[in-house]
Structure 1
């Protein structure tokens, strides 16, 4: 069934993609509104994520609880995401973005008011936090799925690279901005988050609906989603999404590569910071490493934008697997601070390249009716192993030293590089202009 869906999708979509590829997405009003909505929604999430452990600690005076809440919140999001992806494929994505914004604004407005009045306690904040992350898990995939409706063909690959650069910028600025706002008052980050959610909701509304002559298939896709709600159960659609992912060989391979490669990429970032803490480096030095990581992500996003249009996507993926292996290798033998900074920075360059190339190809080839489910399932699998990297890094550094951690991370990165180099399913992925020739 999944293969048939892919075939049915390809003919009309190829025509639409060729028409859309001739017009830059920057010149599309709907894309500008979408980008504003997606950016402000992500900014709102970044601000609340920064303030969350600080508020938990301020309310409970328990560092252990603050760390536990962050972990549980991430797990709640991951558990909700597959269900959210199914919701996205069954409902209007623009409306889901607006609902996400409205719910986020209401939740954090309440938190800001209670904090300002001194009425917020730990149990109340935990309830608000877990409701918010559940809403995020259920609705956040609507934004990425909607991008697939707005941008097609080669332009879609470039749009994914732009997103990587945007996300890197938010990661780079989110911490300092959150710290500045928190310094003004515990409630201030939540007011800023509320405003961001409101702006995001308005921008999502302004995205509007497609003009029939520009994308006549979009109305048909929305009608199809409505029909699916009437004719099929929610869990039947969820199971169909799982079957789609596991029944496509190249999709399985790329998802597993993302999963395993994310562990060394996240592990070297967290491990670098933990090593600096372990050797009693100053807060300035630790912050400098974070700035280098953010800057490297920005440069990596710019490189991915340039490379994806000029090199076969398979070659970009292989590069993104080989680069961190070579970059981290010196840390197996030398752990001095200059070497640590250089190696971590070079390794992080690969993160936007792997994400933009793999996700760009996968979601460009995924039928519209599967966008939400495939996006959520790929995200959950790719993040799951990496989520363990902070715990693994801390244990290895404390018990065996940073050299052992570096050896483990280099070994995993090398496995991914070898698999990518030896796999025809990776090597044969062409440039975005010819993605239609390489089925999932």
Structure 2
């Protein structure tokens, strides 16, 4: 990174040591250079497949938990309680990032699969016997999603150790496509399986976890660049080290703000879409639900295509151009939702925004993987996920208040104006322009607390 960025976080030897590790992370190691090309990389293919199975299983069960509660109690508040415990791990994931850096990542992922399998199996047994206990469902949902989230952090932190540096962008593009594909498959499959029998979605989660376990058992490449050393280091000291490192990286801070801001706006836009469709179909929940499903289905295809082509964009465009271009595209497309009413056309708009979002996700993830040292990958990923998802509830709540006060059209236009402001700030941000700067090797590693 440029010298100006090194001192943006403040003076002092501590800050200098933390900033140096970003540059050392960009150097190619002999071990990574000796790995096979991506098309012949058996271990990456095993990880990609096994994690894909785990993510599909997580999506299926996430859809099934509220359906199970409503089927037994018919209470929206009970479903809300389970939803709270399902999403609670997002607020606790910082410690998950510490675990991903302090433990052998492959063993940690195996433990996550085993834990999910055991927790969900207890629920299958109860439902198959016709028994329902709300605290059990809430506890299983918490364990299932929490371990799935920890698995995801460890898996994402491991990718760069399984592929050559020149293949990292393509590998992350395939991972993004896998993530979006899991979302497309998981939600409808979970609904279909629940219609067959109430325990079927959870049985599929067990099967997917077993498949992930098998793939992890067959991988030979190490998931970390070196041995894990925790002597003389506390858990909270490691957490502080990761947070301080991220804070002293101006570019990382800007990326975090951009992701948080855009996710908050899209959360409000999604709620606005549902209100618009209800108004368009005269308050009919059934027709509005079908229309929203059409929009999201088309949008998912756009996101999947964007993920598949993200590595191509990374080759033909600079990283600053991708970041600025994606935010400008959102600023142009978002206000159009206020005037378009045909579900297919709305789906095309959301597909275009999803396409840009997938390219942006891969570009940001590639940069983060390259500049973050392996020993801090888990912690930075947990911070990134917390920032990305932490603003979603705020966006939903703010969107609801604006919709009640201003109506759908004015709310969407206001969101578009905010997105335009974010895009302008992105275009003139010195930190975004610094994304083009090449990292330089450092002479000393990170100092752990």
1:373-432 deviation per Cα after TM superposition (whole angstroms, max 9, x unaligned): 0000011012111233333334433443211221232122112211210012212423xx
Which runs of structure 2 are paired with 1:31-430 in the superposition (5 Å)? 31-74=44-87, 76-210=88-222, 218=225, 221-222=226-227, 225=228, 227=229, 229-280=230-281, 282=287, 283-332=289-338, 334-337=339-342, 340-430=346-436
CA–CA distance in 2 between the matches of 1:175 and 1:308? 30
Q: For 1:231, what is the secondary structure of its paired residue?
A: coil
Distance 1:307 1:112, change over 3 A: same
- Tell me how far 1:63 sits from its aligned partner: 1.4
- Structure 1 pair 160–270 and aligned structure 2 pair: CA distance change class (3 A): farther
- Aligned-residue CA RMSD in angstroms? 2.5
After superposition, the Cα gap between the structure-2 partners of 1:116 and 1:244, relative to the gap in structure 1 and judged at 3 Å, is same
Q: Does the residue aligned with 2:439 lie in a helix, a strand or coil?
A: helix
More helix by share: 1
Q: What is the Cα deviation at residue 113 of structure 1?
A: 1.3
Counterpart contact for 2:43–2:162, Cα < 8 Å? yes
Cα distance in 2 for partners of 1:261, 1:46 equals 23
Please report how far the alpha carbon of residue 12 of structure 1 lies from its aligned counterpart in structure 2 after TM superposition.
7.8
Question: Against the structure 1 CA distance between its residues 2 and 309, is the aligned structure 2 distance closer, same or farther, given a 3 Å change threshold?
Answer: farther
Tell me the TM-score normalized by structure 1.
0.89
Instruction: Name which of structure 1's ranges 347-356 and 87-96 shifts more when overlaid on structure 2.
Output: 347-356
Give, in angstroms, the shift of residue 18 of structure 1. 10
| Separation in structure 2 between the aligned mates of residue 8 and residue 392 of structure 1, nearest angstrom | 38
SS of the residue corresponding to residue 15 of structure 1 reads coil
Q: State the alpha-carbon separation in 1 of the partners of residues 173 and 396 from structure 2.
A: 26
Any idea what SS the aligned residue of 2:132 has? coil
- The answer to whether the 8 A contact 1:161-1:305 is kept is yes
Could you tell me whether the CA contact under 8 Å between 2:110 and 2:216 is conserved in 1? yes
2:35, 2:163 within 8 Å by CA — same for their partners in 1? no
The reply on whether 1:29 has 2:42 as its aligned counterpart is yes
Out of 81-90 and 389-398, give the one that drifted further: 389-398
Quote the offset at 1:256 in angstroms.
Answer: 0.9
Q: How many Å separate the matches in 1 of 2:441 and 2:300?
A: 33
**Mapped contact 1:275–1:402 kept (Cα < 8 A):** yes
How much does 1:65 deviate? 2.6
Runs of 5+ consecutive residues of structure 1 not aligned to the other structure: none
Q: Which moved more, 1:47-56 or 1:11-20?
A: 11-20
Deviates further, 362-371 or 406-415? 406-415
Number of equivalences: 423
Q: Is the 8 A contact 1:21 1:154 kept in 2?
A: no
- 1:409 is paired with a residue whose SS is helix
> Structure 2-normalised TM-score?
0.87
CA deviations 1:166-208 (Å, max 9, x no partner) are 1111111212211111111010000000010111112112112
294-303 or 100-109, larger mean C-alpha shift: 294-303
Of 390-399 and 372-381, the range deviating more from structure 2: 390-399
Q: Are residue 436 (structure 1) and residue 439 (structure 2) matched?
A: yes
- Indicate conservation of the 8 Å contact 2:266/2:395, yes or no: no
Unaligned runs of 5+ in 2: 1-13, 443-449
- After superposing the two structures, state which structure 1 stretch, 99-108 or 415-424, moved more: 415-424
